[in-house]
Amino acid sequence: MNRFGRRLLLVIACSSLFPLAAEAAPAVPPFYVAASKIKPEGKLGQVVKKEKVATEISGAQAWRIAYISSDVNDLKTISTGLLIAPVGPAPKEGRPIVSWSHGTTGSAQNCGPSQQINPAVPLNEYYLMNGNSWEDYGVLSVTEFIKQGYVVVATDYQGLGGGGKHQYAVGQTQGRDAINAIRAAGAIKETGAGKKALLYGWSEGGYSVLSAGGSPDYLAKKGTAFDGIELVGVVALSPVNVSGVAQFALSSSQTPEQAMEKITAPLSQNIFMWGHLAGMMYGLQAAYPEKLQLTDWFTPEGAKAFDVLSNNKCFHVLSDSLTYSYGENYKSLVKPTPSNTKAWIDALIVGGVPNKAPTVPVLVFRGTKDAVPKPMVDIYEAQMCKLGANVKHIELDGATHFTSPVEAQQTFLPWVKDRFANKPLANGCPKS
C-alpha cells in the first residue's frame, strides 16, 4: 500500500473513532464564543474582553473587543467590535474618536465584520471588484483617520458575535452600540482617547448614526465606563431612514394596512430587496418579542424559513439561498394581509430616529443611482431642519450604493477635521 493509501485509511479510522468532532466545532471564532457567554453586567461601554489583532495600517495598533451596550428597551447586551488606534504618546487633550457603523451584513452570530481573518483594513466591499469576502468588512477611511491621529472604533452591533438575536434595522439599538463603542474606546488606556467624538456610518450604519445623533440623553448618561463624550458631528452615508418613511406613510394613509403597503411595496419588487425587508421585520420582532410575532407578517412557512436562514447565514449567502429555494415565489412567504399592523408601524417609528433635532451638525450623502430611495433622505432632512437642526444633504452624481462611501470621502474627511477643530459652520438646511 502506498503512502496516500495509508493516510486515507488513517483519516477513515479517525472519522469512525471521533464522528462528532466536526459537528462540535463552534460556528464562530473562540473569542466570540467566549464573549457570547459573558453576562452583560457592568457599566455601559465597559470592555469585558479584548485581544490584539494584526493590522497593515501604518502606525496603528488594533484589538477585537467585547463591551457592554444596551438595546432600544434599555436591556443590557454584549456587543463586539474592532478598535484601531495610533501608536505612540497621545496629545495632552487626548485623541479624537470616530465611531464607524457598518452596513448590512446579516443577522447570524458569524456576521460581525470584526470576525474576518484580517479585519483592521480599509472598507472592503463585497460587490466591488476588489472585494474578497462574502460580506462587507473593514472601516471606511481608517488609514486617513489614523494619519490624522484619531482613534477609530467599529461596532459589530449586538447579535453579530456577542450572543442574542440581532435587531436588524432597529436604529436605536445600533445607535446605542455605536455610542457605547466610543465609551469602550475611551475606557482602554492604550488608545490615548480624549472626549471629542464623531459618528459616521453607511446604509444600516447610516440609520444607526442618525438615531444616535438624535439621542442626547443617552450620550449624556453618567456612570458609564467613559462619561463626558463631546459629540462634534454625524456623517450618514446612504442611510435607510425607515422610521421617517413609516411616519410619512402613517400620516398619509387612512388605515395602518394602507400605510404598511406604502412602506413594504417599494422593497418587495425583487427577491434581493425583499430579503432586506424580511430581515427588517425579523429584527423588529427580535426587539419587541412581546408585541410582535413573526407570523403577524410571515406565513408559517416564511417565519420558519427566515428564522433558519437568519440564524445561520450572512445576508448575501442568505439571499442566494432564498433565490435558490423560492425564486419568483418569494412573496408566498408573506401573508396576503398582515395582522397587528399598527403595532409593527409603531415599532418602526419608536425604534428609529428620534423626533428631535440633533445638537451637532449632520452631513448626509446619497448617490443619485443609490439603492436607498431619495425620499428616505429627503424626509430626514425636512423633518430635522424644521426642528432647527443643521443638516447638509449632498447627492453624489452617478454614485451607487456601493461607490458612494468612497466618493464621499473627499468631502467628509475635511469636514470631520473641521468639526474636531471647532471651526464655525453655516447651516446646511435649505433656506426655503
Domain with 205 in it: what CATH number? Answer: 3.40.50.1820
Q: In this structure, is residue 6 part of a structural domain? A: no
Q: Taking the complete model, does pTM exceed 0.85, yes or no?
A: yes
Q: What is the pLDDT of residue 358?
A: 96
Q: What is the pLDDT of residue 431?
A: 86
Q: Are residues 179 and 210 in the same domain?
A: yes
Residues of the chain with pLDDT under 50: 1-26
Q: Can you give the residue range of the structural domain that contains 97?
A: 30-241+356-420
Q: In this structure, is residue 84 part of a structural domain? A: yes
Q: What is the pLDDT of residue 27?
A: 62
Q: Are residues 315 and 395 in the same domain?
A: no
Q: What's the CA angle centered on 329, arms 324 and 334, to 5 degrees?
A: 115
Q: Are residues 339 and 195 in the same domain?
A: no
Q: In this structure, is residue 10 part of a structural domain? A: no
Domain-ending residue, one of 308, 325, 350: 350
Q: What is the pLDDT of residue 14?
A: 38
Q: In this structure, is residue 398 part of a structural domain? A: yes
Q: Are residues 222 and 303 in the same domain?
A: no
Q: What's the CA angle centered on 250, arms 273 and 349, to 5 degrees?
A: 70
Q: Are residues 224 and 271 in the same domain?
A: no
Going by the DSSP 8-state scheme, the letter that residue 7 receives in this structure is H
Q: Are residues 42 and 189 in the same domain?
A: yes
First to last CA, the chain: 86
Q: In this structure, is residue 9 part of a structural domain? A: no
CB atoms within 10 A of CB 430: 11
Q: Are residues 201 and 248 in the same domain?
A: no
Q: Are residues 64 and 38 in the same domain?
A: yes
Domain-ending residue, one of 299, 315, 350: 350
Q: Are residues 117 and 167 in the same domain?
A: yes
Q: What domain count does the chain have?
A: 2
- In the three-class reduction of DSSP (H, G, I as helix; E, B as strand; rest coil), residue 155 is classed as strand
Q: What is the pLDDT of residues 348-366, one digit of tens each?
A: 999 999 999 999 999 999 9
Q: In this structure, is residue 374 part of a structural domain? A: yes
Q: Are residues 81 and 174 in the same domain?
A: yes
Identify the CA nearest to 61 among candidates 175, 181, 189, 221.
189
Domain-ending residue, one of 350, 381, 397: 350
Q: Are residues 226 and 255 in the same domain?
A: no
What distances in angstroms separate CA 408 from CA 141, 278, 292, one per listed residue?
Answer: 10, 29, 38
